[in-house]
Amino acid sequence: PTCQCPHHNQDRRDMQQYWIAYCEFSALKYILNIQGTGETKDFTNYTDVPWGSNDNDYRIIISKLIIEEGITSLGNKLFNNLDKITEITLPSTIKKIGERAFYGCDRVTGEVVIPKAVTSIGLNPFLITPITSITVESGNTAFKSVNGVLYNANNTLFSFA
């Protein structure tokens, strides 16, 4: 459960790691919680994710994203077009960020911090996501950030905010 109050119900979708919690007493209302250990699945289309199906498209109402410690990989296109989330916080256990993982999260602003454990980042993970800078935690040997811009260890421009 992700809601901080006792008055909520949960819609457990078809994958163990993914929860959508609804709380009518919270200003956030719909919270997507990614929990467990290990990697999340790669997706080829945003309608393939459990919360983006054609039958129940929760993407347009999820207002908060929680990725818990223990998750090591964020799959390709995992969070495409979560239109209402405003921040991205990655746990220290993340090692891989998939291609276009946060594509089109167009209300996210501010800084994204890449944890020191990250060794792989797919193509355009933050495309059409208006973050203002990317910072890489000290100790990361695969990536670095200079003035909010992401570079790989070979000083090649990787992605920018």
Q: What is the pLDDT of residue 45?
A: 83
**Distances, alpha carbon 88 to alpha carbons 25, 56, 93, in Å:** 23, 23, 15
5, 131, 154 from 110: Cα distances, Å: 28, 5, 26
Instruction: Give the tokens for residue 22.
Output: 């609804």
Closest CA to 83 of 159, 149, 19, 32: 32
Instruction: Give the pLDDT of residue 61.
Output: 81
Looking at residue 53, its pLDDT comes to 65
User: How far is 82 from 42, CA to CA, in rounded Å?
Assistant: 16
Give residue 136's pLDDT: 96
- What per-residue confidence (pLDDT) applies to 54? 63
- Residue 130 CA: distances (Å) to CA of 23, 99, 102, 125: 28, 17, 11, 12
Q: What is the DSSP string of 36-57?
A: SSEEPPP-SSGGGSTTB-SS-B
How far apart CA 123 and CA 65 sit, in angstroms, is: 21
Specify the pLDDT at position 99.
94
Digitized pLDDT (tens) for each residue of the chain, 161 residues in all: 344 433 344 444 444 455 555 555 455 567 788 888 888 888 888 778 777 766 667 788 888 888 989 999 999 999 988 888 999 999 999 999 999 999 999 999 889 999 999 999 999 999 988 998 999 999 999 999 999 889 998 988 875 54
How high is the pLDDT of residue 151? Answer: 92
Encode burial over 25-39: b for 16+ CB neighbours within 10 A, e otherwise: ebebbbbbbbbeeee
Question: Token pair for residue 143?
Answer: 């990536």
Full-model pTM: 0.83
